[in-house]
Amino acid sequence: MEKHNLVRSFSKQQTKFYILNHRHAMIPQLKSSLGREHKSWPDELSASLRKLGNFSGIFLSGVFVGRPELVVDLLLVGSVNADKLNVFLRTTSKQFGGELNYSIMTAQEFKLRRDTFDRFIKDVFDYPHITLLDKSDEKQEIKETAATEPAKATKSVAKPAVAKAVKKKQ
């Protein structure tokens, strides 16, 4: 499968991992074949992460995308239950054969760092990553969607503009 570029492998601390190449030409055929034979599997990682706290963003990078050399493996945006996080990290570290690099920040800090092109955030999003949850731009997306919809024809009467004098403050 590696020779045909269907999967890519990497090793971390004597454990070999495989990642499916979602851009391979055979993927649609494999999905349809597996879909007929099997029900979809629940995403255990996503479900486990969502139970750790109240998040507006969950981003996976590093070992989760086959690039263990990247700066962070897990970026959590929101509030986290520390005890649950420690249990999750112990379990996941055993599965991946080493410690996970993670970062936690508030939604305000994330927005500020993202909007100011912070180096850390840039490093996460410039390289391969998986977005499990991103509620940071929900309001903005709704506004953009409304602005891009075609205007409906309405009947209106044009009124002449009235000029008003405006005093400038000095």
Tell me the per-residue pLDDT of 102-116, one tens digit each, with 9 for 90 and over.
Answer: 999 999 999 999 999
Question: Which span out of 9-18, 59-68, 78-87 was modeled with the highest average pLDDT?
Answer: 78-87
- The pTM of this model reads 0.60
Least confident of 7-16, 42-51, 73-82: 7-16
Digit-coded pLDDT (tens) for 125-156: 999 898 988 887 654 433 333 333 333 333 33
- Show the tokens assigned to 96: 């991946």
> Could you give phi then psi for residue 138, rounded to 5 degrees?
-60, -50
With the CA atoms of 95, 96, 97 and 101 taken in that order, what torsion angle do they form, in degrees rounded to the nearest 10?
A: -130
74, 46 contact by CB (below 8 A): no
78 secondary structure, DSSP code? E
Buried b / exposed e along 94-132 (16+ C-beta atoms within 10 A): eebeeebebbbbebeebbebbeeeeeebeebeeeebeeb
